Amino acid sequence: MVGPDYRQPEPPVPATWQAPLPHGGNAARLAEWWRQFDDPLVAELIGLAERSNPSLSQALARIEQSRANAASARSRLFPATSLHAGERRSGGSGMTPSQTVASASLDASWEIDLFGANRRGREAAKARLEGAQATWHDARVSLAAEVAQEYLGLRTCEALLTEAELDLDSRRNTEQLTARKVAAGFAATPDNALASASTAEAETRVLGQRNDCDISIKSLVALTGTAETDLRARLAPHTGRIPSPASLGIDELPAQVISHRPDVVAAERELAAASADIGGAEAARYPRLSLSGTIGPQFVRLDGAKQQASIWSFGPALDLPLFDAGLRAANVDAARARYDEALAGYKAKVRQAVREVEQSLVKLGRGVERARASRQAADGYDSAFRAAEQRWQAGIGSQLELEELRRLAITARSQHLAVLRENVAAWIGLYRAVGGDWQPATELPH
């Protein structure tokens, strides 16, 4: 065969990971990782999304197209046969007798693949089929991560909404007590205005938080294809509960981890197909040899007389390119340029994969310590606010001090919830970065 024989290039990855690796995880449990969340609704929503998402349906349709193209390319390696049958009647004016000719023939043809054009075509089609299958898996992994991130965002939003509603209740209580103090002459009128403004601020925050939660629900409806009423019923039992995932372990070198990513596999398979295309373009510059033959009976009726004969033919045909004004050479150059483009795309995809894994590892670093520190800060500010609230209710505290500590406590609680969300999001990001639950031997869709 002419053209280059494909060899997978070494991925441009570092020898070891630069970011610290997570501890306590098990990479072998990746396939069932979603079911290891302490919230079973995560896996349930991902399953709903996989069954109804249009992006997965599109990727599956592309697999079927590639599978048909691969079957077509394979068929060119074998002889083709066809059956032909016909009858023809002829005659003329005067004394010309009428004639009927009936024939049937079995025709066969076969192109001998001297320079590998058909074999290279089969290589390219097979590589593109494998690339389409990997792309389907990549879409599936991306969809699962997107659903999980959206669900995480909703639960965090609900937790923030609960905090906002509790804060609103507290501010309303403060406003009522302030009004009583002003009426009794124990507080100045500006204190009443400050309390009313504080309540209005809390109401605005609650309304905005509810709006954000509704938007997240709309996103989940679109991702899962579930009716909103049904989805809200599924979500109701665990409102405001941020899910906690199981840890993931990475005990492999970068090159091994990157090879698990379906998008990298898809880019590598396109590179293999581009290499085979070079061979196909090269082979088009060389002679093509084919064999063809026909065999079958023929019946002739002339003026009532019948004749029967068997006919056959067999022979080779040679197609020799002579002059095409540089067309075939230009096709080879174009194929080589497409290979260079695919190689650059493969390297870019590998670098992106390494970057995403490293970034996810960095985000996971010290996540437990950050959560502990933010929890401690939230508890400390909450204790200070409660103490100030008791002093104010006893008439020995400042309302300005109370409102300042309230804002600090709200900020600290919000930051703690944000840290919890970031930690879970980092685990989801790591799952996506290492390629999800896909392995090259995973059963493929049909």
pLDDT in tens, 204-227: 999 999 999 999 999 999 999 999
Rounded to 5 degrees, what are φ and ψ at 438?
-95, 140
Same domain, 363 and 256: yes
pLDDT value at residue 260: 80
Does the pLDDT of residue 31 top 80, yes or no? no
For range 326-349, the mean pLDDT: 95
Does the pLDDT of residue 250 top 80, yes or no? no
For range 96-121, the mean pLDDT: 86
pLDDT value at residue 271: 97
Q: Is residue 376 part of a domain?
A: yes
Same domain, 422 and 346: yes
pLDDT value at residue 185: 74
Check: CB of residue 296 under 8 Å from CB of residue 12.
no
pLDDT value at residue 397: 77
Q: Is residue 424 part of a domain?
A: yes
Does the pLDDT of residue 441 top 50, yes or no? no
Check: CB of residue 153 under 8 Å from CB of residue 428.
no
For range 218-240, the mean pLDDT: 92
Q: Is residue 388 part of a domain?
A: yes
pLDDT value at residue 334: 97
Same domain, 48 and 127: yes
Residue with tokens 């990298």: 264
Q: Which two tokens stand for residue 388?
A: 């100030």
Same domain, 138 and 71: yes
Check: CB of residue 15 under 8 Å from CB of residue 354.
no
Domain that holds residue 298: 80-112+287-320
Rounded to 5 degrees, what are φ and ψ at 296?
170, 165
CATH code of the domain covering residue 126? 1.20.1600.10
Percent of the chain with pLDDT over 70: 91
Check: CB of residue 329 under 8 Å from CB of residue 281.
no
Check: CB of residue 427 under 8 Å from CB of residue 364.
yes
Q: Which residue has the higher pLDDT, 410 or 31?
A: 410
Q: Is residue 2 part of a domain?
A: no
pLDDT value at residue 207: 96
The C-alpha atoms of residue 279 and residue 381 are separated, in whole angstroms, by: 71
Same domain, 39 and 122: yes
pTM for the structure as a whole? 0.82
Q: Is residue 203 part of a domain?
A: yes
CATH code of the domain covering residue 91? 2.20.200.10
Of 266, 296, 320, which residue sits at a domain end?
320
Same domain, 246 and 351: yes
Of 320, 341, 362, which residue sits at a domain end?
320
pLDDT value at residue 94: 57
The C-alpha atoms of residue 312 and residue 105 are separated, in whole angstroms, by: 9
Same domain, 268 and 391: yes
Number of domains the chain contains: 2
Same domain, 268 and 388: yes
pLDDT tens digits for 124-145? 999 999 999 999 999 988 999 9
For the ranges 55-69, 291-305, 420-434, which has the lowest average pLDDT?
A: 291-305
pLDDT tens digits for 346-364? 999 999 999 998 888 888 8
- How many angstroms from the chain centroid is the CA of residue 349? 14
Same domain, 117 and 93: no
Same domain, 254 and 369: yes
Same domain, 297 and 428: no
Q: Which residue has the higher pLDDT, 435 or 19?
A: 435
Q: Is residue 210 part of a domain?
A: yes
Same domain, 397 and 271: yes
pLDDT tens digits for 164-210? 998 888 888 888 888 877 777 766 678 788 888 989 998 999 999 99
The C-alpha atoms of residue 385 and residue 392 are separated, in whole angstroms, by: 10
Q: Which residue has the higher pLDDT, 18 or 268?
A: 268
Rg (CA), the chain: 37
Virtual torsion, Cα 345, 348, 354, 355, nearest 10 deg? -140
Does the pLDDT of residue 86 top 80, yes or no? yes
pLDDT value at residue 340: 96
For range 395-408, the mean pLDDT: 81
pLDDT value at residue 28: 46
